Chains A and B, each alone.
Chain A
């Protein structure tokens, strides 16, 4: 069974700093999605990565898919308080997704 491990579990930094969070698996991902979840709400899709080595940018967020498709990272440049939330990665196929436990990110003003 494929497991997704996210690190760190918790990250608290000052506004303006840069950060990177990770999602790793012991198996090859078919594809991988990153979601952000704010308190009291459901997760919202940020990006899907499919091809090994792929890099996607969403404003100050940069998503990278490892060449071997077993790991992915999310880098935030100049973090803002609005980036606060739980960042989740997910992968799967055959109608079922598995999810990492998430990285809880707090950006202090």
Chain B
């Protein structure tokens, strides 16, 4: 099982450029999410999806777009990169993420390290 696959592993962008971070899972998980991880700040939720065609905002959604056309894929788009978006981005999925979430652990990819100059 590949689990959660993120590409690319590393990326350098110039301010104002756009790009898409890819995330794919092969576990038939309903729930998928994007986080950013910055030193001393823990993981912060950007966007999430509870199924194909359904997305919603997390804690820090500004500057990012998502879509969920299939169960497997959940790409994250940076519309116009800014230095403040320099971070490590993680995609995570789980079988379900209902309101009593503790019965479905998150499975993470290995991250994309993004630098915006």
Contacts and interface: CB of A to CB of B under 8 A. Distances in A.
Interface stretch (A43-51, A56-64, A72-80): A43-51
Interface string B10-45: 000000000000000000000100000000111111
Nearest to B38: A101
6 contacts: A40-B111, A41-B108, A43-B106, A50-B102, A101-B40, A101-B41
A96 B59 contact: yes
Q: Which range holds the interface residue count of chain B?
A: 20 to 34
Interface of B: 4, 31, 40-45, 48, 50, 56, 58-59, 90, 92, 97, 99-103, 105-106, 108-111
Q: Is the interface of B mostly helix, strand, loop or mixed?
A: mixed
Contacts, number: 66
B100 A88 contact: no
A86 B110 CA distance: 14
A88 B37 CA distance: 12
Given A40-B110, A95-B97, A98-B59, 12 more contacts: A31-B101, A35-B106, A40-B111, A42-B90, A44-B108, A48-B102, A95-B31, A96-B59, A97-B43, A99-B42, A101-B42, A102-B42
